[in-house]
């Protein structure tokens, strides 16, 4: 008999993309990582004030920003699974042979998946 508990976390990566690494504001898999107006107060200005900000190529300032793409490293998901695995064997000897019987039973108690792409939705399968 085996009890198992699996907790898979910390799948750290940049946001997924369906276009092979080229980020596009029209890519449906990136919707959760693109903020559109109205932004939190000062959000666009904070990017302009950052030392990592390269340039305002349009020259229109933070008030003209129409989208903010968050491509930071993030935890993409968590999976928790637990259950019980039971294996038993029985052997009978007969003249001229042998009969082997076995039984394997698995019971899954919990299967929870939490993902960033599901907007923090908790999916439980029992």
Which has more confidence, 71 or 52? 52
Percent of residues, the chain, with pLDDT higher than 90: 14
Q: What percent of the chain has pLDDT over 70?
A: 79
Token readout for 69 is: 């793409």
pLDDT (tens digit per residue) in 39-61: 888 888 998 998 888 888 889 99
Residue 5 three-state SS? strand
Task: Give the pLDDT score at 22.
Answer: 63
Q: What is the pTM of this model?
A: 0.49
Residue with the larger pLDDT of the pair 11 and 93: 93
The whole-angstrom separation of Cα 5 and Cα 118 is: 23
Place of tokens 């042998």: 98
CA 86, 90, 94 angle in degrees (round to 5)? 165
Question: What strands lie across the sheet with 122-124, from one edge to the other?
Answer: 2-8, 77-94, 97-115, 122-124
C-alpha distances in angstroms, 119 versus 90, 97, 99? Answer: 49, 60, 54
- How do strand 2-8 and strand 12-13 relate by DSSP bridges? unpaired
Yes or no: say if 33 and 69 are a contact pair by the CB < 8 Å rule. yes
């Amino acid at each position: 008999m085996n009890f198992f508990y699996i907790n898979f976390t910390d799948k750290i990566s940049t946001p997924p993309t369906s276009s092979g690494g080229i980020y596009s504001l029209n890519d449906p898999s990136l919707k959760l990582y693109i903020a559109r107006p109205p932004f939190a107060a000062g959000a666009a200005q904070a990017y302009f004030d950052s030392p990592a900000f390269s340039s305002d190529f349009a020259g229109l300032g933070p008030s003209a920003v129409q989208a903010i793409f968050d491509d930071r490293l993030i935890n993409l998901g968590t999976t928790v699974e637990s259950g019980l695995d039971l294996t038993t064997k029985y052997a009978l000897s007969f003249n001229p042979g042998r009969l082997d019987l076995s039984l394997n039973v698995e019971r899954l108690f919990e299967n929870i998946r939490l993902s960033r792409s599901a907007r923090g939705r908790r999916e439980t399968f029992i």
